[in-house]
Amino acid sequence: MKISKTQQGKSSVILIIILALIGVGVYVGLQYIPHKMEFSSVDSILNDVEKKYMETQPKNIAEIQDTLDKYLNVNQKEGLKESFEITKENDEYLIKVNLVRELNLIYKKTSIKYDREIYL
């Protein structure tokens, strides 16, 4: 009866490589997911402001700013107030959002950008 011996070392090396790749994925994901959640919250805030002024035209920029501040406060995003710009173009109000977040990868830093405009 002949028992064949299998090589044990190869299995552990592959396991270490797989665990390292999973670790890198988790590291990047833990940075990326909060930014995407923040962008989703900003998107939700803009949609709420747009719905509010869908039927009635806002009176002035200050009214829009107060509404925006209220929604930012409710969503606990007061720190993003500087990222919003409200202007009046002709008879419409324009709300621009420009967010840039830095994603620190292992080998380099990269930026994630969120730009959106809505007209009221």
Digit-coded pLDDT (tens) for 2-60:
666 665 556 788 888 899 999 988 888 888 888 888 888 889 888 888 888 888 888 88
Classify residue 56 as exposed, middle or buried by CB count within 10 Å of its CB (0-12, 13-18, 19+).
exposed
Q: Which domain holds residue 101?
A: 9-119
Residue 2 is predicted with a pLDDT of 63
Is residue 71 in some structural domain? yes
Q: Closest by alpha carbon to 81, among 60, 94, 63, 99?
A: 99
| pLDDT for the residue numbered 36 | 87
Band of pLDDT at residue 96, cut at 50, 70 and 90: very high
Instruction: Decide if 43 is inside a domain.
Output: yes
Whether 4 maps to a domain, the answer reads: no
**At residue 66, does pLDDT exceed 70?**
yes
DSSP3 helix / strand / coil % (the chain, rounded to 5): 55, 25, 20
Percentage of residues of the chain with pLDDT beyond 90: 5
